[in-house]
Amino acid sequence: MLAFDQKKKLKQEIIAYFLLTVGSILFAVGDVMFVNPYLMAPGGTYGLSNVFNTLWPWKISLYAICMDVPLLIIGTWILGPKFGVKTIVSTALIFAATFVLESWWGYNPVILDGAIAPSADGSGSMVPIPHDGGWFRPDYFLNTVVAGLIYGVAIGLIFRSGATSGGSDIISMILHKYTKISLGTLVMIVDGIITLSTLIAFGDIRLPIYSVLIIFIEGKVINLVVDGMKSYRTMFIITDNPEPIRQYIINELKRGGTCITGSGLYKGNERKMVYVTLDRSDMVKLRSALYHIDPNAFVNIMESSEILGTGFRALPKE
């Protein structure tokens, strides 16, 4: 049994580092080939590095590692050893992948609306952007969508491996410790400042707008990669007749649940509340059945982003 557990753990670690490697390479592809050529900065140290790279030409990876390493050291000193080995490995892999890609590929865009050379009168529906091979006319929207998808898959895989993004998030964690402002709010503020730096540096209002759109798409894709496509709903059913509901959930839906005894606030009468978590299709079936089982039931349906335990995802060991 011990040998089996060791093999299982080794397999999980191999898969985790595979996901970490693929995610790190994808992140570098998204940044070098899609985000940087369009002068965008969707948060993080690499977003800020894109701005620095354009203003004062030096490799993105070198700018980023010069920020990431001190942040990891300062974060460990102030916050304690919260950053595991995988976060350090992720930082190194993203640096290496970005360095190789920008050395080989340069900063040329993949998506563009026809390559053009700079014209004397500056004509064109959109202002051309310079890159290694001359100039190009940008297709902002399509590039933004693709960049958001690549970033989302990349960071989602990194999260699935058990690593964290580190970088500018460490700044938010440190500020959270001393200001007590919510971490989510601080992450938005820090990334927002980095995003707005494109407007200050390049004077184009489109850049921060499209950068925010990348962050939005990225967030949605991260949720899909980390949590999967399956959507769950939690139902709280307050009823005077819980037994038929119990029978329907057990026999028809083949699920379990919990029956809780409580009392109403208005009259103080004893009431039963059925607590059950179902996928979307089973939720619809139960909701429809309730009309016939107990039309007077009070039902509260909530979206559940993460369900752990028997019948769903296993509880994490770490």
Q: Residue 178: CA atoms inside 13 Å, Cβ hemisphere, count?
A: 7
Examine the domain organization and report whether 220 and 252 are in the same domain: no
Domain count of the chain? 2
Which of residues 175, 193, 227 is at a domain's end? 227
Tokens linked to 53 = 């790279």
Q: What is the pLDDT of residue 125?
A: 45
In a domain, 215, yes or no: yes
Q: For residue range 151-188, what is the model confidence (pLDDT) as tens digits?
A: 989 988 888 887 776 677 778 777 877 887 766 677 77
Nearest by Cα to 71 from 224, 190, 199, 162: 190
- Buried b or exposed e, range 229-240, using 16+ CB within 10 angstroms: eeebbbbebbbe
For residue 317, the surrounding DSSP H or E stretch is none
Helix pair angle (85-104, 2-30), 10° resolution: 40
Examine the domain organization and report whether 220 and 237 are in the same domain: no
Examine the domain organization and report whether 222 and 249 are in the same domain: no
In a domain, 313, yes or no: no
Domain containing residue 300: CATH number: 3.30.70.120
Tell me the sheet residues that pair with 260.
Answer: 273
Q: What is the pLDDT of residue 199?
A: 87
Residue range(s) defining the domain that contains residue 223: 2-227
Examine the domain organization and report whether 169 and 275 are in the same domain: no
Tokens linked to 202 = 């390049």
In a domain, 152, yes or no: yes
In a domain, 84, yes or no: yes
In a domain, 19, yes or no: yes
Examine the domain organization and report whether 166 and 246 are in the same domain: no
Q: What is the pLDDT of residue 314?
A: 63
Examine the domain organization and report whether 127 and 203 are in the same domain: yes
Examine the domain organization and report whether 108 and 147 are in the same domain: yes
State the Cα–Cα distance between residues 293 and 296, nearest whole angstrom. Answer: 9
In a domain, 179, yes or no: yes
Q: Which residues of the chain have pLDDT under 70?
A: 1-5, 82-83, 117-127, 132-133, 165-166, 182-184, 227-230, 305-318
Which of residues 227, 261, 287 is at a domain's end? 227
Examine the domain organization and report whether 152 and 201 are in the same domain: yes
Q: For residue range 26-77, what is the model confidence (pLDDT) as tens digits?
A: 999 999 999 999 999 988 899 899 899 888 888 999 999 999 898 888 888 8
Which of residues 227, 250, 281 is at a domain's end? 227
In a domain, 262, yes or no: yes
Examine the domain organization and report whether 255 and 203 are in the same domain: no
Examine the domain organization and report whether 220 and 288 are in the same domain: no
Angle CA 141–142–143, to nearest 5: 90
In a domain, 65, yes or no: yes
pTM score, whole prediction: 0.76
